[in-house]
C-alpha cells in the first residue's frame, strides 16, 4: 500500500501546533480531553515554558514548537545577516534547548535552525521561518510514510498495544506509532487496539484514546499494570510505541513503562515495534546508559486530576522516560525504512 491510499481527512485532522504568522498557537494538552484550549506564545520564552509545562509534548512536536520559538525570538533581534543573528539568538536557543532533556528532536530542530542561518543574508528572518515550516512539513510526510511501512509488518487480524501518546498531538500530524495504528486500521490489518493509561500524566488515557475516538477507531484502555496479563491472553501480537531518542546501538528512550512492556512482550512472544523519524536518531550517543532521563516533580504522583490520593509526607520518584535495550526491539520503523533487530552496524548503515 502507498501512503496516499489512506483517507487523511478521517485519519489526520488534529493539529497541535499552529503558526499564524504572528503567534504560535499550541493546543493545550494539559486540558484535553475535556477542554480544547490553546496557549498563545508571543516570544521564545513562552514557547520554552509551554514545552517544559507539557502544554505541547511528544518528541517531534517539541522540536517543531522550538523551531517556531526561534522564529519568535528573531522578532526581538536586530541583525545584519545570518551570522550576526545566530550569535544574538544563541541565548534564546539555549533556553529552548533546556526546556526538556530527553527527546533529541528538540536539540535536532534547534541545530537545524542554527544551520539555516549559516550563509543567510539580510533575509535571515524569512530563512528561519521557511526552515521551521520545512521541519513541520517533513515530520508530517515522514509520519505518513512510516504509517504505511509499519502497518506492512502487521499480520492481518492482529491486536496491538500502544503506550503514551504518539499521535497527531505528539507530532506535526498523523503520529508515529499511532500513525502505524491508523494505517493498520485503515488497511484492515489491525483487529483491536489497546492503549495503556500511561501514569502519571495519563497521555494514553487522556490523549491517545481521545485521538482514536476522533477518527472513529475503537480502542480499549487498560491500566498500565494490566499489560502482561493482556499479552498472556493472546489478545495482542504487537506492541507499537514511539521514541524520544534512539542511540547508535538501537537502545531507545521512550515514556516510562516502555521498557517493562518490551520485557513482557519478549516473554510472551509478542513483537515489539518502535516507530520514529530520523530526527529521533542520536548516532552520537553510543548506548542508552548515556541518555539523560528527565525527572519531574514527584508531586505528579500524589494525585489524579488535581485530587490528592496519597498521604502527606510520602516520598516519590518520578523518572518520566526509560530505556529499552535495542536487543528487545524487533523493528525500528523510520521514514528511511525498517531496521529489524537493530544493531550498531544496521543503525550505521541507515543513519551514518
Ligand atoms: O512526556 P511526553 O508526553 O512528551 O513523552 C512522549 C513520549 O514518550 C512519546 O512516546 C514520544 O515522544 C514519541 S511521540 C511521537
Question: What pLDDT is attached to residue 4?
Answer: 54
- End-to-end alpha carbon distance in the chain: 28
How many angstroms separate the CA atoms of 334 and 40, rounded? 32
Spacing, Cα 1 to ligand 1 middle (Å) = 27
> How many Cβ atoms sit within 10 Å of the Cβ of residue 123?
12
Evaluate whether 271 touches 194 at the Cβ level (below 8 Å).
Answer: no
* Residue ranges per structural domain of the chain: 8-140, 146-351
pLDDT at 2 over 60: no
Q: Is the CB of 144 under 6 A from ligand 1?
A: no
In the reported structure, the alpha carbon of residue 188 is separated from the centroid of ligand 1 by a whole-number distance in angstroms of 26
pLDDT for 114 equals 98
Mean pLDDT of 141-150: 98
HSE value, Cβ hemisphere, 13 Å, CA-based, for 268: 22
From the alpha carbon of 255, which atom of ligand 1 is closest? 8
ipTM exceeding cut-off 0.85 for this assembly: yes
Q: Is 98 annotated as a binding residue?
A: no
Band of pLDDT at residue 1, cut at 50, 70 and 90 = very low
Q: Which atom of ligand 1 is nearest to the CA of 177?
A: 15
Q: How much is the pTM?
A: 0.97
Report the residue count for the chain. 352
171 Cβ below 6 A of ligand 1:
yes
Distance CA 164, CA 3 (A): 24
* Distance from the alpha carbon of residue 117 to the mean position of ligand 1, in angstroms: 29
Q: Which of 98, 91, 133 is nearest to 112 (CA)?
A: 133
Residues annotated as part of the active site: 244
Question: What is the per-residue pLDDT for 306?
Answer: 86
Report the mean per-residue pLDDT for the chain: 97
Distance 29 CA to ligand 1 centre (A): 12
Across 273-299, average pLDDT: 97
- Each residue's pLDDT tens digit, 61-80: 999 999 999 999 999 999 99
Those residues whose C-beta lies under 8 Å from the C-beta of residue 247, and which sit 6 or more positions away, are: 282, 283, 285, 286, 287, 288, 290, 291, 326
Q: Average pLDDT for residues 248-257, to the nearest whole number?
A: 98
CATH 3.40.50.10470 fits 146-351, yes or no: yes
- Which atom of ligand 1 is nearest to 276's Cα? 15
Instruction: Identify the pLDDT of residue 305.
Output: 83
Task: Give tens-digit pLDDT for 177-201.
Answer: 999 999 999 999 999 999 999 999 9
DSSP 46: H
> What confidence tier does 3 reach under pLDDT thresholds 50, 70, 90?
low
Please indicate if the annotation marks 82 as binding a ligand.
no
104-116 pLDDT, tens per residue?
999 999 999 999 9
**29-62: pLDDT as tens digits:** 999 999 999 999 999 999 999 999 999 999 999 9
* Cell 545570518 sits on residue: 82
Q: What number is the average pLDDT over the span 284-289?
A: 98
8-140: CATH topology is 1.20.120
Average pLDDT value for residue range 9-19: 94
29 Cβ closer than 6 Å to some ligand 1 atom: no
Cis peptide before 33 (omega within 30 of 0): yes
Enter the C-alpha cell of residue 323. Answer: 530505556
Query: What's the pLDDT score for residue 188?
Result: 94
Distance CA 32, CA 170 (A): 13
Residue nearest to atom 6 of ligand 1 (CA): 58
- Statement: residue 96 has pLDDT above 80: yes
267 falls in which pLDDT band (50, 70, 90)? very high
Cβ–ligand 1 distance for 255 under 6 Å, the answer yes
Q: Cis peptide before 200, with omega less than 30 degrees from 0? A: yes
Rounded to an integer, what distance in angstroms lies between the CA atom of residue 61 and that of residue 230?
Answer: 30
Amino acid at each position: 500500500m502507498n501512503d496516499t491510499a489512506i483517507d487523511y481527512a478521517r485519519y489526520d485532522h488534529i493539529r497541535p501546533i499552529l503558526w499564524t504568522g504572528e503567534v504560535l498557537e499550541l493546543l493545550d494538552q494539559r486540558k484535553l480531553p475535556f477542554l480544547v484550549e490553546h496557549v498563545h506564545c508571543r516570544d521564545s520564552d513562552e514557547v520554552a515554558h509551554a514545552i517544559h509545562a507539557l502544554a505541547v509534548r511528544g518528541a517531534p512536536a517539541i522540536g517543531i514548537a522550538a523551531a517556531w520559538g526561534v522564529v519568535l525570538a528573531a522578532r526581538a533581534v536586530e541583525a545584519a545577516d545570518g551570522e550576526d543573528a545566530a550569535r544574538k539568538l544563541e541565548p534564546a536557543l539555549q533556553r529552548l534547548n533546556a526546556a526538556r532533556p530527553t527527546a533529541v528532536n528538540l536539540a535536532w530542530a534547534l541545530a537545524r535552525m542554527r544551520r539555516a542561518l549559516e550563509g543567510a543574508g539580510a533575509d535571515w528572518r524569512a530563512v528561519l521561518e521557511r526552515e521551521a515550516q520545512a521541519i513541520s512539513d517533513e515530520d508530517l510526510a515522514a509520519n505518513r510514510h512510516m504509517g504505511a511501512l509499519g502497518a506492512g509488518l502487521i499480520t492481518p487480524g492482529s491486536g496491538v498495544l500502544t503506550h503514551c501518546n504518539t499521535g497527531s498531538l505528539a507530532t506535526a500530524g498523523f503520529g508515529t506509532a499511532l500513525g502505524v495504528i491508523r494505517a493498520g486500521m485503515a488497511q484492515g490489518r489491525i483487529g483491536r487496539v489497546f492503549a495503556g493509561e500511561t501514569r502519571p500524566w495519563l497521555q494514553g488515557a487522556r490523549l491517545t484514546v481521545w485521538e482514536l475516538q476522533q477518527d472513529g477507531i475503537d480502542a480499549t484502555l487498560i491500566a498500565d499494570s494490566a499489560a502482561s496479563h493482556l499479552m498472556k491472553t493472546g489478545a495482542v501480537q504487537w506492541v507499537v510505541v514511539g521514541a524520544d531518542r534512539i542511540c547508535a546501538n538501537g537502545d531507545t528512550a521512550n515514556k516510562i513503562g516502555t521498557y517493562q512492556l518490551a520485557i513482557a512482550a519478549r516473554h510472551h512472544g509478542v513483537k515489539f515495534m518502535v516507530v520514529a523519524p530520523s530526527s529521533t536518531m542520536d548516532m552520537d550517543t553510543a548506548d542508552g546508559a548515556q541518555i539523560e532521563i528527565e525527572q519531574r516533580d514527584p508531586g505528579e504522583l500524589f494525585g489524579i486530576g488535581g485530587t490528592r490520593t496519597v498521604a502527606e509526607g510520602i516520598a516519590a520518584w518520578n523518572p518520566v522516560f526509560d530505556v529499552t535495550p535495542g536487543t528487545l526491539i524487533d523493528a525500528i520503523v523510520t521514514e528511511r525504512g525498517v531496521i529489524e533487530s537493530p544493531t550498531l552496524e544496521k543503525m550505521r548503515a541507515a543513519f551514518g
